[in-house]
Chains A and B, each alone.
Chain A
Amino acid sequence: MRETIGLLLIGFGVFVFFVGILGTMRFSYILSRLHSTAVGDTSGVVLIILGLIVYGTPFFLSLKLLLVVLFLWLSGSVATHFIARVECLTNEEYEMYDMYEKYGKHWKPVEKELAETELTETEETIAKSTV
């Protein structure tokens, strides 16, 4: 019974890892991919290690396994933060991403500004009158 529960936990952890892999393969933007790998980095690791502890390891070995979990929790989030910071520093058009998603990859910022500043005649008269 105990081993079955442990194997179920390990199986769920492997499933979470595959969810992270699916996000890494299918998402279209780097920060979304980073987010989906962070899922596997935290919850997948702790599920698998808890499953191994329940499956039957001696006491001190399970403490060592918990140490692995602790270190991966501390280091994984820091590494993810560093990667995101490097991405935001070096990618010059990462703020354009929403517009690319809406209007396609050949969208240019100049066209968008022109479309916004084009006013109809009534609006122009209103603006002149207020000025």
Chain B
Amino acid sequence: MELVEVRDEMLAFFLLLLVIGIALIFFRAIRGPRFTDRIVAVNYIGTMATVFICIQSVYLDIPFFIDVALTFALLNFLTVIVICRVVTLHYKGRQLNLEHKKESEQI
């Protein structure tokens, strides 16, 4: 009888472990030397949050949480792609600016 009770509460234990993991990887997002470290950490936090919501929907027996998890995964992907695109365009624009400055100085 006690074993069954322990088995029913194991999902809550895994939820707790996932929360601890998100708190650990948050340090990398704060401490990362470059911006790519922060993007990696944010991507990983998003994946872990998606899995967290899936486990929670089974644990609390609320079926529509899985839709929330799917939306969360979509938003996570969109965040990473948009940030990478903006950084790439910004970097290329800065390189072009530098080249124009050099050419104008030579003239």
Chain A residues at the B interface, C-beta cutoff of 8 Å:
3-4, 7, 10-11, 13-14, 17-18, 20-21, 24-25, 30, 33-34, 37, 40-41, 44-45, 48-49, 52, 55-58, 61, 64-65, 67-68, 71-72, 75-76, 78-80, 82-83, 85-87, 89-91
Contact = CB atoms under 8 A, between A and B. Distances in A.
Most buried by A among B10, B41, B51, B74: B51
A30 to B, nearest CB: 5
Contacts of B24: 21, 25
A79 to B, nearest CB: 4
B87 interface: yes
B58 A52 contact: yes
Interface of B: 7, 10-11, 14, 17-18, 21, 24-25, 27-28, 34, 36-37, 39-41, 43-44, 47-48, 50-51, 54-55, 58, 63, 66-67, 69-70, 73-74, 76-77, 80-81, 84, 87-88, 91
A67 B50 CA distance: 12
Q: Which 9 A-B pairs have the closest CB atoms?
A: A75-B77, A79-B80, A82-B84, A87-B36, A64-B66, A86-B84, A37-B44, A7-B10, A48-B51
A45 B73 CA distance: 12
19 contacts: A7-B11, A10-B55, A17-B48, A24-B41, A24-B44, A41-B43, A41-B47, A49-B54, A55-B58, A72-B47, A72-B50, A75-B76, A79-B77, A79-B80, A82-B80, A83-B39, A83-B40, A85-B88, A89-B88
A4 B43 CA distance: 31
